[in-house]
Amino acid sequence: MAFQRNQIMKHPIKTILFLLWVMGIMVHAGFSTAAEKPEGPTEAADPQYIIGHGDILNIHVWKDDALAKQVTVLPDGRIAFPLIGEIKAEGKTVVQLRKEIETGLKRFVPDPILNVEVAQVNSMLIYVIGKVNHPGRFVLNTNIDTLQALAMAGGLNPFAKQDSIKVFRKTNLETSMYHFNYDEVSEGKQLTQNILLKRGDVIVVP
């Protein structure tokens, strides 16, 4: 042992290279071990995001390429996935859908580790119609209020009735209506009229 230590002391550069080599092996082994098992299921940035028709989902089971699929939520709200067939996705959160698919797969795959990701949000739409400069439908990529939506639509045209704007919201089988006075809100008055919009809201500018 004394001879080996003396030999190492005589070659410090070789010693450093040898230690770096050993450390490299240890780090690689650590990465390999970590790669053997995922940390857990991944979901959308907001796990409580409610899936809607038109959304594109990435669904896959860990270490099973045959159970990896990108699906689009159809107009009837359903998706198709191998082994379990069609399943209702619309109206469910990402977490709820993941758990339901896992339950269905357990008949065929022991302890499946499932990942569900919203690859593309296409269902968060609002509509602005009437006397605005650019009427149409708009995607909600973040929280948008009524005043912001009107700005997205290019603002009101000169013939708009600024005090008679309405927001229609359909919930299940009921439709609610909210009044919006552009002049009041833009002047900082009656700001409660400037509601945050939800999927499917329709702004009508007479």
Q: Same domain, yes or no, for 114 and 154?
A: no
The pLDDT score that the predictor gives to residue 20 is 52
Number of CB atoms found within 10 A of residue 89's CB: 26
The CATH number assigned to the domain holding 136 equals 3.10.560.10
The pLDDT score that the predictor gives to residue 11 is 53
Q: Same domain, yes or no, for 108 and 178?
A: no
Closest CA to 141 of 128, 122, 169, 154: 122
Per the domain annotation, does 201 fall within a domain?
yes
The pLDDT score that the predictor gives to residue 40 is 42
Per the domain annotation, does 26 fall within a domain?
no
Largest CA distance in the chain: 97
Q: Same domain, yes or no, for 110 and 132?
A: no
Per the domain annotation, does 38 fall within a domain?
no
Alpha-carbon span 162 to 76, nearest angstrom: 37
Q: Same domain, yes or no, for 116 and 130?
A: no
Q: Same domain, yes or no, for 132 and 67?
A: no
Q: Same domain, yes or no, for 113 and 172?
A: no
Q: Same domain, yes or no, for 131 and 115?
A: no
Per the domain annotation, does 21 fall within a domain?
no
The pLDDT score that the predictor gives to residue 55 is 94
Q: Same domain, yes or no, for 116 and 131?
A: no
Output the pTM of the full model: 0.64
Look up the domain containing 184 and give its range: 125-205
- Amino acid identity of 98? R
Mean pLDDT by 10 residues, the chain (206 residues): 49 54 50 42 60 93 90 95 94 94 92 90 94 95 92 96 96 92 95 95 98
Among all chains, which residue has been given the structure tokens 């699906």? 71
Overall domain count for the chain = 2
